[in-house]
Chain A
């Protein structure tokens, strides 16, 4: 995520703890499990660490397990589907039947994936009664459905119209028409074979009416019809009780007999099911590779050139990913999104559950990690400029610290700010390797590695009882020595940062100073 540079990632040890738990079964493994979980260092540089580091707002907290839960250790359950473009909810039954695409007028440009709008081709000087022919237009790359030869009669029901319209304006046969056509051809084939057997040569069929190779949908329809017929032939169904278990069939009888006979009996009783035939003709969905289509494609490449071919991304976005040319593109119906609830993977408790209404962004349940674990943030300390107490006006004038140009060898102070969301005070102990591993050895010193962070009490409680040890409001209290008072003032006078002291402290937050000496490239 593109966060402003000094960001904080939190490591979820869900994977490591699982790994540590697993070897207990294998005695051969020499890793002592579990007990030294705290001892094992998390290595943020290992390639696997990328998958366990998350920004705080992506983390949830399971109150039963008392663990943070990252996107890796939650299970998601879909609450509902909706179209991201028209924001209409799609019932799950429709998702099952129609697939996860919007069936309204939400279409994306097949070239650049931005949303396409339905616009009219109406001649303003010769208006038509229906207001159009209509077309899909991409407002980003100016692709129109005219490029694939598609115009619509109405501006509504684009999906239904598109289902009947092939590229170039030819009509796509519907499912029923396809079935009829297949039946007809099967009949013809039978006739033909009989004719051949009988020796008569004058076949009356004008069978060669198909234009080009069959389309993807045709092949699929043929194949599925073929396999359905095969399945039907496999199971001799009883027409009177189609849903009943068919006890009279020999196969189920033998199965039941097998159940009751002893397991030691040979398997000779079980007769093998007759193997299914594979598709053997084009009408059964068989497609044979023909070199002529290849040469046709090559010829097309020669004539139309590179610009008419599709990029892999465009190809993959298509419904039939075998298309090659821009003339084969189809508008893409927008893919549905889901609203999901999240559960803890180990105890199955719900961690977050959004309201089921699509337009609502509220949550019924939301257990955020930021309410349970201290929040850390790091930023550079402006010590060079004399940040006086009247920083309000000057703040805008202060040059922003350039995090991209740290100079090697020059110590820089960073402010580590830890705030506590809990209602109990927290004691923090920080540690860092004195030299960071890796190519550039940077010296990092935490000036105050151990300190307390106050409890997140009510502001009013604090204000009412505050006068005793803490002052109300944005109180600053310094540990150790008694130079309480103006922290910023001491810093401004050049005394700057002192070791062993916290920098600043408030009701439920504490900030300490880190000194960072960026190393030189290559050597320590």
Chain B
């Protein structure tokens, strides 16, 4: 929305790169940029919709007089959000009003193409395949793999180290001990790290994974 300055400064290309190494596609739809934090080296691809405008409105009593900075979506480091995904903070109706809750996404999270994510928190090293729907207030712990086309029901807690799939999703297996090991730096889009050493998360080269996303 409000990136005219960035558009002028950045060289022509698919991605705008920030100082901390985040790469945000010019074709992504980001609303409420003030309420979104990106950890660094995070990739946001084209047609991703980040609904930062749905921020918590339950205003704390303004003692300082200033408008408190509300974060609605916070995304960690080296996270990839693939094309066509919608990230939307969860909401709940209480006393006749809609309240949004801040959403947290950890480090090294891969969100596949065409997902709809409304989880309250996604921890680190989570791999979400394509066409996954996560209903509001689901909580996903570390080292979780979500299989394609899964639908995570609302309020579900997925314990760490599990593989989930199905509609509604249930735990169908466990990831191996080697999950996420060495996936320290990922998300370089065809980037400088040659050798395939860096982008390795679980069974696949994340770089290849990212490249295969249309």
Q: Which residues of A contact B (CB under 8 A)?
A: 1-4, 7-8, 54-60, 82, 84-87, 112-115, 117, 138-141, 337, 342, 352, 361, 363, 366, 368-370, 375, 377, 379, 391-396, 398, 400-401, 417, 419, 474, 506, 509
B9 at the interface (CB under 8 A from A): no
Question: Chain B residues near A139 (CB, 8 Å)?
Answer: 135, 153-155
Return the chain B residue nearest A476 by Cβ.
B194
C-alpha spacing A57/B180, complex, angstroms:
9
Inter-subunit contact B208/A86 (CB<8 Å): no
Pick the residue among B157, B194, B197, B208 that contacts A419 (CB under 8 A): B197
Inter-subunit contact A87/B168 (CB<8 Å): no
Inter-subunit contact A86/B157 (CB<8 Å): yes
Which of B28-36, B54-62, B184-192 forms part of the interface with chain A?
Answer: B184-192
Return the chain A residue nearest B148 by Cβ.
A2
Question: Chain A residues near B170 (CB, 8 Å)?
Answer: 113-114
Known: A366-B177, A391-B190, A395-B190. A2 touches B195 (CB 8 A): no
C-alpha spacing A2/B165, complex, angstroms:
11
Q: How many whole Å from B51's CB to the nearest CB in chain A?
A: 21
Pick the residue among B141, B156, B196, B212 that contacts A114 (CB under 8 A): B156
Return the chain A residue nearest B210 by Cβ.
A396
B179 at the interface (CB under 8 A from A): yes
Q: How many whole Å from A441's CB to the nearest CB in chain B?
A: 27
Q: How many whole Å from A130's CB to the nearest CB in chain B?
A: 19
Return the chain B residue nearest A399 by Cβ.
B214
Inter-subunit contact B181/A368 (CB<8 Å): yes
Question: Chain A residues near B158 (CB, 8 Å)?
Answer: 84
B160 at the interface (CB under 8 A from A): yes
Q: A interface, by DSSP: helix, strand, loop or mixed?
A: mixed
Known: A1-B203, A393-B13, A474-B194. A84 touches B171 (CB 8 A): yes
Question: Chain A residues near B135 (CB, 8 Å)?
Answer: 139-140
C-alpha spacing A247/B196, complex, angstroms:
76
Inter-subunit contact B176/A59 (CB<8 Å): yes
Inter-subunit contact A114/B161 (CB<8 Å): no
C-alpha spacing A396/B176, complex, angstroms:
31
Question: Chain A residues near B107 (CB, 8 Å)?
Answer: none
Return the chain B residue nearest A108 by Cβ.
B170
B204 at the interface (CB under 8 A from A): yes
Chain B interface residue count, Cβ-Cβ cutoff 8 angstroms: 53
C-alpha spacing A392/B205, complex, angstroms:
17
B209 at the interface (CB under 8 A from A): yes
Question: Chain B residues near A57 (CB, 8 Å)?
Answer: 175-179, 181, 202-203
Pick the residue among A87, A366, A396, A509 that contacts B14 (CB under 8 A): A396
Question: Chain A residues near B147 (CB, 8 Å)?
Answer: 2
Inter-subunit contact A58/B153 (CB<8 Å): no
Q: How many whole Å from A139's CB to the nearest CB in chain B?
A: 4
B159 at the interface (CB under 8 A from A): yes
Inter-subunit contact A370/B204 (CB<8 Å): no
Question: Chain B residues near A368 (CB, 8 Å)?
Answer: 177-178, 181
Q: How many whole Å from B152's CB to the nearest CB in chain A?
A: 9
Inter-subunit contact B204/A4 (CB<8 Å): yes
Question: Chain A residues near B151 (CB, 8 Å)?
Answer: 140
Extra contacts besides A115-B156, A368-B178, A392-B190 (7): CB < 8 Å: A1-B145, A85-B157, A114-B156, A361-B142, A370-B178, A392-B192, A400-B214
Question: Chain B residues near A417 (CB, 8 Å)?
Answer: 196
Q: Name 28 A/B residue pairs within 8 A (Cβ), A-sorted.
A: A1-B145, A3-B202, A4-B208, A7-B204, A55-B202, A57-B178, A58-B177, A59-B178, A84-B157, A87-B159, A114-B153, A117-B155, A139-B154, A352-B177, A361-B160, A361-B161, A363-B177, A370-B178, A377-B205, A391-B190, A392-B191, A392-B192, A395-B190, A396-B15, A396-B190, A400-B211, A401-B212, A506-B197
Inter-subunit contact A56/B203 (CB<8 Å): yes
Q: How many whole Å from A364's CB to the nearest CB in chain B?
A: 12
Inter-subunit contact B197/A509 (CB<8 Å): yes
